[in-house]
Structure 1
Amino acid sequence: MNIALIMGRKGSTGLPGKNVMPVLGRPLAEYCFMAAEHANRLERIYLSTDDEQLMALAEKHGIRVIARPPELCTKEALGEDVYVHAFGVARDELAAEGKTVAQVALLMCNAATVLASQIDEAADILDAHPDYDSVVTVSCRNMWSPLRARREDENGLLKPFVPFETFGDPATLSCDRDSQGDVWFADMGLSMVRPHYLEHMEEGLLPQKWMGRNIFPLKQWGGCDVDYMWQVPGVEYWLREHGFTEETTPYEG
């Protein structure tokens, strides 16, 4: 069976309360809850959290709550460890019912830019391609090409973050942001994965090792997980463009 694992904690220091902050009049987390709830390819949904407000919201959507251990509720805790813990709880619960997990939709409470249709499409792609380890939503960010990245040196001056030779002959490089081709970033809206890399995380590619090694891009635009207040207007724009308003959602009717 296919399941969803959602993670969100209450102790954010960068943007306190972000998971329940109002976005188009709803708690931010409710958007990924709705996507999972309305996905035809999911049979059970779990939320890993220590946040009582998220627990109450999960109950409204019929989502099972996994109590996140204290050591996984700090800002230093890695998302991959949260997913591994949650998957172990879900897997053991389902095993007791005589069920096994085929695919896992990994979602984040602060990532609203995901739709039920994307979850279903990702599950269908994994079914059709047994050699794929995961299907993840990605957004094009050519303005953030590694060619443009800089680091501060010991004198406080900016230097290339990555040696220009990494990209080929430096004489051929250009200030044109599209000169290196499209730059795709996993936007954290959805990672549809097979259980193997949740059980053998050390085998996956950095930085999001749960995606495995053969990662198929589910392309969209404007996806992001909210960590800063300036991102919220962009997320609201994405939601409006995909059929959400303060009063309605695309899942109604």
Structure 2
Amino acid sequence: MNRERSTLTTNTCLAVIPARGGSKGLPGKNIRLLKGKPLIVYTIEAALESGCVTNVVVSTDDEMIADVARGAGAEVPFLRPAELATDEAKSIDVLKHAVQYFENRRQNYEHILLLQPTSPLRTAKDIQKAMGQFLQSGADSLQSITPAQTHPYLLRQRSNTGQLNPFFQIEDHIRRQELTELYELNGALYLMKRDLLMESGQIVGPSNQGYIMPVERSVDIDTLWDFRLAEWTLQEFDESGRE
């Protein structure tokens, strides 16, 4: 830690919820009503209820999203600059901008938590458990994962003539029970040390943990179909079933 940062107030964790106004896949999705509640509110409430974060901040370029976020209890101390509100803007730059904003005001955080508002089924307990795993492991970063729904062994390539070939050359006699258990990123949460982000310019470090979430809490909304799936899941699984 350098001399300048050592004089800053140290807090534990900054949760950043990125919520850009524009969305090609599902226009207005971040504040679209999901069972009567704006989508982004599910993530804000989970972060606040977790008790694991010092500040819950929404990074947005949209005044309507900002108003909804403030109403749900999140902080929106700035509107995201135009260069960070394009389709090409990267999550890492949005995170660094938010952290720099607070550090310029002499607030420092040991850990940074990225929470996508498109993962409304992630709960406060998920955040608590992920944080506990992260701190206990001493890792540089952590990503949420869920069991892969399709094993690479089952993938096929189809040629223009209709010829079907395995995408990966694996012996045909391998049984499903013998296949390695695999996981896929579900986008629900990313945890990282502050210095990994700000000094190394990385979200995922060399020592990276995976926090496992079940498929029913791993819906990542990008399309109307995803949105309908989230609605159905909320209808079928009550709060006690989504611990």
Which interval holds the TM-score relative to the shorter structure? 0.7 to 0.9
SS at match of 2:185: strand
Per the alignment, residue 231 of structure 2 pairs with 236
Per the alignment, residue 207 of structure 2 pairs with 214
Q: CA deviation at 1:211?
A: 2.7
Instruction: Mark the CA change 1:172 to 1:13 in structure 2 (over 3 Å): closer, same or farther.
Output: same
Once residues 129 and 69 of structure 1 are traced to their aligned partners in structure 2, the CA distance between those partners, rounded to angstroms, is 36
Q: CA deviation at 1:216?
A: 1.9
User: Any unmatched runs of 5+ in structure 1?
Assistant: 205-209
Instruction: Mark the CA change 1:46 to 1:173 in structure 2 (over 3 Å): closer, same or farther.
Output: same
- TM, length-normalised to structure 2: 0.81
Tell me if structure 2 keeps the 8 A contact 1:87–1:198.
no
Once residues 235 and 3 of structure 1 are traced to their aligned partners in structure 2, the CA distance between those partners, rounded to angstroms, is 27
Aligned pair 1:187/2:186, yes or no? yes
Q: CA deviation at 1:151?
A: 5.5
Tell me if structure 1 keeps the 8 A contact 2:156–2:164.
yes
Aligned pair 1:133/2:145, yes or no? no
Counterparts of residues 38-117 of structure 1 (less than 5 Å): 38-65=49-76, 66-93=78-105, 96=106, 99-117=107-125
Deviates more, 1:5-14 or 1:151-160: 151-160
Tell me if structure 2 keeps the 8 A contact 1:35–1:114.
yes
SS at match of 1:101: strand
Counterparts of residues 187-206 of structure 1 (less than 5 Å): 187-200=186-199, 202=201, 204=202
Tell me if structure 2 keeps the 8 A contact 1:137–1:217.
yes
Once residues 32 and 156 of structure 1 are traced to their aligned partners in structure 2, the CA distance between those partners, rounded to angstroms, is 44
Per the alignment, residue 42 of structure 2 pairs with 31
Instruction: Mark the CA change 1:76 to 1:33 in structure 2 (over 3 Å): closer, same or farther.
Output: same
Q: CA deviation at 1:16?
A: 0.9
Q: CA deviation at 1:229?
A: 1.0
Once residues 164 and 80 of structure 2 are traced to their aligned partners in structure 1, the CA distance between those partners, rounded to angstroms, is 41
Once residues 70 and 159 of structure 1 are traced to their aligned partners in structure 2, the CA distance between those partners, rounded to angstroms, is 46
Tell me if structure 2 keeps the 8 A contact 1:14–1:227.
yes
Instruction: Mark the CA change 1:155 to 1:201 in structure 2 (over 3 Å): closer, same or farther.
Output: farther
Aligned pair 1:4/2:15, yes or no? yes
Q: 1:227 aligns with which of 219, 222, 229?
A: 222
- Letter of the structure 2 residue corresponding to residue 107 of structure 1: L
Once residues 17 and 222 of structure 2 are traced to their aligned partners in structure 1, the CA distance between those partners, rounded to angstroms, is 17
Identity %: 25
Instruction: Mark the CA change 1:111 to 1:90 in structure 2 (over 3 Å): closer, same or farther.
Output: farther
Instruction: Mark the CA change 1:158 to 1:172 in structure 2 (over 3 Å): closer, same or farther.
Output: closer
Q: CA deviation at 1:239?
A: 3.3
Once residues 125 and 207 of structure 2 are traced to their aligned partners in structure 1, the CA distance between those partners, rounded to angstroms, is 22
Q: CA deviation at 1:148?
A: 3.4
- TM, length-normalised to structure 1: 0.78
Task: Name the count of aligned residue pairs.
Answer: 227
Over the aligned positions, Cα root-mean-square deviation in angstroms equals 2.7
Aligned pair 1:120/2:128, yes or no? yes
Instruction: Mark the CA change 1:134 to 1:173 in structure 2 (over 3 Å): closer, same or farther.
Output: same
Once residues 174 and 46 of structure 2 are traced to their aligned partners in structure 1, the CA distance between those partners, rounded to angstroms, is 41
User: Any unmatched runs of 5+ in structure 2?
Assistant: 1-11
Q: CA deviation at 1:158?
A: 6.1
